[in-house]
Amino acid sequence: MCVNLPHDYPASEPDIYVRSDKLDRNQQHILNSDLASYISTLERGEICTYSAISWLQENASQYHAESTKPDVVVKNNDENDKVFTRYWIYSHHIYSKMKRKEILDLAKEFSITGFCLPGRPGIICAEGLASDSNEWWQKVCKCTYIHLSG
């Protein structure tokens, strides 16, 4: 789900759209059109991102159920090792030099590249093979770095 808030939000409606590898292009277009129609019915001046997320939670299953695209199951881990992934992690803030160093050291351990921008908001970009990126992110979450509040 991608949310773009205009400068004068909530006076103007946000641009919200969804992408899913479980839906084909036409189904995503229909879902996003229906979501935009729903957002246009909401009262201007009110924060509507929560309402949009709630609508999506309630209605997304009908678009997924209509999907004719078969689920892809990767049976060979070697195939998953060839997939490149990029994680964009936004945090309320990242200030602690020690936490940033630990996150970056852990990234080196898993052969992950990227960068960490301290401040408010804090941003981390991590890139690497899917299996390495997933393991790195699981370790970051387990080590309670997920709060990144230091």
Please check whether residue 17 lies inside any domain of the structure: yes
* Full domain range(s) for residue 24: 2-65
Has residue 72 been placed in a domain? no
pLDDT of residue 63: 77
DSSP letter string, 2-62: EEE--TTTTTS--EEE---TTS-HHHHHHHHHHHHHHHHHSPTTS--HHHHHHHHHHHHHH
Give a yes or no: residue 70 inside a domain.
no
Q: What is the mean pLDDT of the chain?
A: 77
* 3-class DSSP state of 107: helix
Total-model pTM = 0.43
Q: What is the CATH number of the domain that holds 26?
A: 3.10.110.10
If asked whether residues 51 and 82 sit together in one domain, one would say no
Residue 25 pLDDT level (bands cut at 50, 70, 90):
confident
Q: Which residues pair with 113 in a beta bridge?
A: 127
Sequence length of the chain is: 150
94 and 135 inside one domain: yes
133 secondary structure, DSSP code? H
Final residue of a structural domain among 22, 42, 65:
65
pLDDT tens for each residue of 30-54: 888 898 898 888 888 878 888 888 8
User: pLDDT value at position 39?
Assistant: 86
